[in-house]
Structure 1
């Protein structure tokens, strides 16, 4: 099933890859406080998802990306019917680029983490759904919606749906 209409969400997230590592942020505030997550945030009025993610990466990590590739969206439905979602992006830095970490910022601590560590099935230190979709966004060219449904904090359903143009 493909979407034929644009998707409008409030948030973005970016996974910056360098070799076999991803730059993550251990957030000091909700949501995902105390967990490692990608860089990103809320889309400002009049801003495209790409403009947002480029701005957020600069604000959070002082990295001026020229481009990030939209890999789809992550959506969730929680107990009680609350829904949310975000555009998910990937950017790649050459391995020769040095970015000193760990780095303390206003948002939390930024550090490079090995992909194998991020997606390890026993890792409880990353935002809960990242291990489910990170391998696909890093390895495949298509755009997908990664849908998560949880009840009382437990994941009860996860599916991946191919997308067409999303914004």
Structure 2
């Protein structure tokens, strides 16, 4: 898989994420995604079901449903149905494919500042610790996942009371307003999920999302809509 990106005279920061729509070429040798992500919504009140994770990756942050694909189970969507039931107790059969998200994690560029050598050494140490522990954090330096969404009715929403700990090993489930999820001051939600939410319900299975990190900092996001798929504002 290859893609192009626009250049910038200054490096993007965590609070100034570079976002682009680019031309992307799908390479036949690109590996299939190994994870699923399910986003469950009640469209009638704009609520999203999230889980505050108690295990890595994304420890302590709000995220969607899903996990690693097991080929013994079958297709990605069959995996997600089982994962959803195991993680929430919900039995949903209306998931729609919304594309693929690919992530890449790079070493953060060295910060050269003669007036802050102590800070630079400290950050360099943190970066080394981070990358040496990526495996322990269960975060591959690159990978991809299938994105699916499911809309439930207001009746289903009212019958699924939260906050709820369904699977004590995973975390607390709760319905969150979409506006809350997208608030610029909300650092408690996984950053690439915040990137997906504005348009993901209008996407299809051929859409491609790419996110790039310098260590833990999200520095670039790209969305390549499939041909003929107009992304709504």
Is TM > 0.5 for Structure 1 vs Structure 2? Answer: yes
Report the count of equivalent residues: 163
Is the 1:2–1:161 contact (alpha carbons within 8 Å) kept by the matching residues of 2? Answer: no
The structure 1 segments of at least 4 consecutive aligned residues displaced by more than 2 Å after TM superposition are 1-7
Structure with greater proportional strand content = 1
Unaligned 5+ runs, structure 1:
none
User: Which of the two has higher C-alpha Rg?
Assistant: 2
The match for 1:38 is: 64
Q: Which residue of 2 aligns with 1:100?
A: 161
Q: 2:34 matched to which residue of 1?
A: 10
Partner of residue 47, structure 2: 21
- Could you say what secondary structure the match of 2:161 adopts? coil
What is the distance in 1 between the residues matched to 2:92 and 2:221? 31
Deviation of 1:68 after TM superposition, in Å, equals 0.3
Shift, 1:114, TM fit: 0.4
Inter-partner Cα distance in structure 2 for 1:108 and 1:64:
19
For residues 118-141 of structure 1, the C-alpha deviation after alignment (integer angstroms, 9 at most, x for no partner) is 111110111111111111112x14
Residues in 2 aligned to 1:22 and 1:149: alpha-carbon distance in whole angstroms: 25
TM-fit CA distance, 1:96: 1.5
* Alpha-carbon contact 1:25-1:39 (below 8 Å) kept: yes
Q: Bigger shift: 9-18 or 74-83? A: 74-83
Q: CA separation in 1, counterparts of 2:98 and 2:82?
A: 18
Deviates more, 1:116-125 or 1:153-162: 153-162
1:79 paired residue number: 106
Deviations, residues 13-50 of structure 1 (Å, cap 9, x unaligned): 11110131010011110000110100101111232110
1-side partners of 2:104 and 2:147: how far apart?
17
Per the alignment, residue 57 of structure 1 pairs with: 84
After superposition, residues 93-132 of structure 1 pair within 5 angstroms as 93-97=152-156, 98-104=159-165, 105-106=167-168, 107-132=170-195
d(CA) in 2 for partners of 1:162, 1:141: 7
